[in-house]
Structure 1
């Protein structure tokens, strides 16, 4: 449940960020790109609202898995050593972000599963009500339009044309059996041709299906105001791009006549709201002004503009992918973590006894023998110490950790002579300290950080901390840290 709820929140967050970015750059892109480009790129946030974040975050590891391994990682050869300490994946490379910490705190709430179940129930009810209201409105609207309507026999085309006294604007209606609906008012031959051309463009492009997809995104994210704004924007962009398609080959006089047809429909009276599975030939006065201005400024598409629009589209999708990846990485384990499944560890050489141990994200430490079998599973929530190395081995390993951007285990620093530690600090401009140089406050802070971030607590910290402080940490976190001396 928690995993689904977090996925929903991430999808809503990512979709909203992309929509904000698109809205922010639109004053610039309107001067360069066509309305059709704006219409179709408007579905990028819709894609992420409907689960695109999860798709991308699963696609990236898959792509990485099929790419050849170059083996350039400085620690790639560590698995072939007689004894290896492997830090948890991802956590060793960077610290948790603020949002990561908040999600971690959230996952530790006592009633988190009950809260998640209640939230999902509220969301499901809201989604059902949203869809039910829209379906009811569509059915009522369709019955109203078809009441006292008649088929227009004078028009031959790929779809049926209906004349209805209750229609206030020409429209395309129906997803499975679409029909063009005309108001019961006289049209000139050219006006009728332009109206039918507009509605047939909707039909050819499948705009009613696209509107249904946007409605689905709005239903899933009914709690997000941005989803409603996105729905309205795409409805308007749909009409603008359709106008653009109809008039792109017209001369100035024909475009003027098309604009007059739009104005005539506005004067006739437009009261129809945005109804699913319908298109609107005519909109509100504010939107009609925008459509009329756009008619005379339809941009010609050339090869350079096509390439530029393609680059812009990929950039927007890339921004979405980056935001999705960042949002995903801020959530620890995507849910309340269960006990992690131990990985299979290749051990390479043929040493005796235990030669590899792995500290999992939940704090569990697993030991593996030379055959890759678990040889011992210590109790959880206890500090562990790495094996002892020679000074040369310690220096080599510390160099690797620093170059790879991985925090150096404090036990390594404690085993290293002070003069060699000073040399490393001078070489890399660092301030690495031995445990004995840390104050009690620093030790407490480091131990709390290790517990909360799941990276473990070095035994050296435990031994150096006063007993009363250690008892307090065990009491707060429910751990069983004990001094070894």
Structure 2
């Protein structure tokens, strides 16, 4: 249940970013692409708001699972070292700079007391907001429908595949109803050509399934009722729906017919004020704010040539790709939500002879694999004991530490303790670090470092265990159920 909140936040964030990208590119796309393109690509943010991030990441995981292993993944490259960096601990000064802000934020939130209660409360608030949002819209629709149907009459003179009614309470032509749609006309005299254009407009809505698309947008708005961008996106798509519908109706008309269509829009606007945006309806006319844009667009609507169509396809794929990249990057900041590699034990490097349990690796899913002297691998599902790294000579140790630091890998405290002070000072000065020996940490710092390693599901260096007072060590073992023991 707690995992739902990060998923909701990620979906809202990714959908908003994609929508912002679309808005930012609009001054360019408006000149190149049709209103129909803008309308349908407007559903890309809706896709991510409704869980598209999980779909994209799942698709990426599936593709990676079926691709052949080239042996160049970061995991197999790191295994060539006898001591994997995932098992090391850096001093606090170093580790802070290696984690992104969002990752640290999620980690901090995951350590809050009463996290379960806080998460359940947040989910309850979200659920109530979603239900209220949907209930209000359904109530508005039912009241609006009753008003429209009151004292209405069926129009028998119009040739239309769906039922057409005339209502004195309708201020603009519209199509209403998801399951049994009807066309509603205002109770005002209309010429034959004007009526034909109005019916054509409403039938385009029906053929394209715009009422269903409108419902999908409403659901996305309901799920993300806390996000202001969802409301702006809803409003924008309603406007684009009408613009693209106009474009479809007038695409084969001459200039005179388009002018008549525009005059019909103005006549309907003058007939009555704009109705509120109601779910399961599509109105012919919009407010004065958008009417000028509709009139300009229908006079300039034209068929796009093949290069523009290809360019619009590339732009669409790019927008989906941007959303996928943002989703992947955002998912990776959440602890335990990064896509893990295939859980296959790494191969032992042939250039080094493993001694005892000196060679091991920890996968991103938390599993640890140890290798014995014969190269046999054993899986240890839970690390509840301290770990000791292999031994090096001073020269080998200095060289090995330099290699790790060059590759931006952490250094185990046991290695730092083994270094002569002269070599340690040289490394700190060369790399601008503040590495210090275990004995230089206070008891409080050691306790904090040990707890942090345990909470992150990593092994605790033996140097920390040996340096901890027995009382603090017993308390840690009791609290976390571990069996840390001193080696001296």
Q: TM-score, normalising length from structure 1?
A: 0.81
Contact residue 85 and residue 409 of structure 2 kept, 8 A: no
The residue that corresponds to 1:307 in the other structure is: 310
Separation in 2 of the partners of 1:122 and 1:230?
23
The residue that corresponds to 1:322 in the other structure is: 325
The residue that corresponds to 1:87 in the other structure is: 86
- Alpha-carbon distance, 1:360 to partner: 6.8
Identify if the C-alpha distance between structure 1 residues 410 and 166 changes in structure 2 by more than 3 Å, giving closer, same or farther.
same
The residue that corresponds to 1:8 in the other structure is: 8
Alignment counterpart, residue 379 of structure 1, candidates 373, 376, 384: 384
The residue that corresponds to 1:34 in the other structure is: 34
Identify if the C-alpha distance between structure 1 residues 192 and 396 changes in structure 2 by more than 3 Å, giving closer, same or farther.
farther
2:176 corresponds to 1:173: yes
Query: Partner of 1:182: helix, strand, or coil?
Result: strand
Deviations 1:33-66 (A, max 9, x none): 2211111111111001100111112221221222
2:120 corresponds to 1:117: yes
Separation in 2 of the partners of 1:211 and 1:376?
49
Deviations 1:363-399 (A, max 9, x none): 886646554334796525x4x3322256897688668
The residue that corresponds to 1:107 in the other structure is: 110
Query: Partner of 2:188: helix, strand, or coil?
Result: coil
**Aligned CA-pair RMSD:** 4.2
The residue that corresponds to 1:58 in the other structure is: 58
2:150 corresponds to 1:147: yes
Separation in 1 of the partners of 2:390 and 2:292?
75
The residue that corresponds to 1:25 in the other structure is: 25
Query: Partner of 2:184: helix, strand, or coil?
Result: strand
Contact residue 14 and residue 320 of structure 1 kept, 8 A: yes
Separation in 1 of the partners of 2:76 and 2:343?
16
Deviations 1:16-46 (A, max 9, x none): 2222222233233222222111111111110
- Alpha-carbon distance, 1:227 to partner: 1.1
Separation in 2 of the partners of 1:184 and 1:378?
77
Separation in 1 of the partners of 2:224 and 2:216?
13
- Alpha-carbon distance, 1:140 to partner: 2.2
Contact residue 270 and residue 282 of structure 1 kept, 8 A: no
Deviations 1:133-168 (A, max 9, x none): 222222222222222222222222322222222211
Alignment counterpart, residue 135 of structure 2, candidates 129, 132, 136: 132
Contact residue 428 and residue 434 of structure 2 kept, 8 A: no
Q: Which moved more, 1:300-309 or 1:106-115?
A: 300-309
The residue that corresponds to 1:243 in the other structure is: 246
The residue that corresponds to 1:290 in the other structure is: 293
The residue that corresponds to 2:193 in the other structure is: 190
- Alpha-carbon distance, 1:435 to partner: 4.3
- Alpha-carbon distance, 1:401 to partner: 4.8
- Alpha-carbon distance, 1:289 to partner: 2.0
Query: Partner of 2:219: helix, strand, or coil?
Result: helix
Query: Partner of 2:166: helix, strand, or coil?
Result: strand
- Alignment length, in residue pairs? 470
Identify if the C-alpha distance between structure 1 residues 436 and 333 changes in structure 2 by more than 3 Å, giving closer, same or farther.
closer
Q: Which moved more, 1:149-158 or 1:416-425?
A: 416-425
Contact residue 161 and residue 181 of structure 1 kept, 8 A: yes
Contact residue 171 and residue 271 of structure 2 kept, 8 A: yes
Separation in 2 of the partners of 1:40 and 1:10?
23
Separation in 1 of the partners of 2:188 and 2:323?
47
2:254 corresponds to 1:255: no
Query: Partner of 1:172: helix, strand, or coil?
Result: strand
Identify if the C-alpha distance between structure 1 residues 405 and 206 changes in structure 2 by more than 3 Å, giving closer, same or farther.
farther
Contact residue 211 and residue 277 of structure 1 kept, 8 A: yes
Identify if the C-alpha distance between structure 1 residues 96 and 425 changes in structure 2 by more than 3 Å, giving closer, same or farther.
closer
Separation in 2 of the partners of 1:376 and 1:122?
37
Separation in 1 of the partners of 2:371 and 2:184?
73
Identify if the C-alpha distance between structure 1 residues 174 and 455 changes in structure 2 by more than 3 Å, giving closer, same or farther.
same
Query: Partner of 1:2: helix, strand, or coil?
Result: coil
Contact residue 358 and residue 389 of structure 2 kept, 8 A: no
Contact residue 11 and residue 52 of structure 2 kept, 8 A: yes
2:156 corresponds to 1:157: no
- Alpha-carbon distance, 1:484 to partner: 5.2
Q: TM-score, normalising length from structure 2?
A: 0.81
Separation in 2 of the partners of 1:48 and 1:419?
55
Separation in 2 of the partners of 1:16 and 1:326?
15
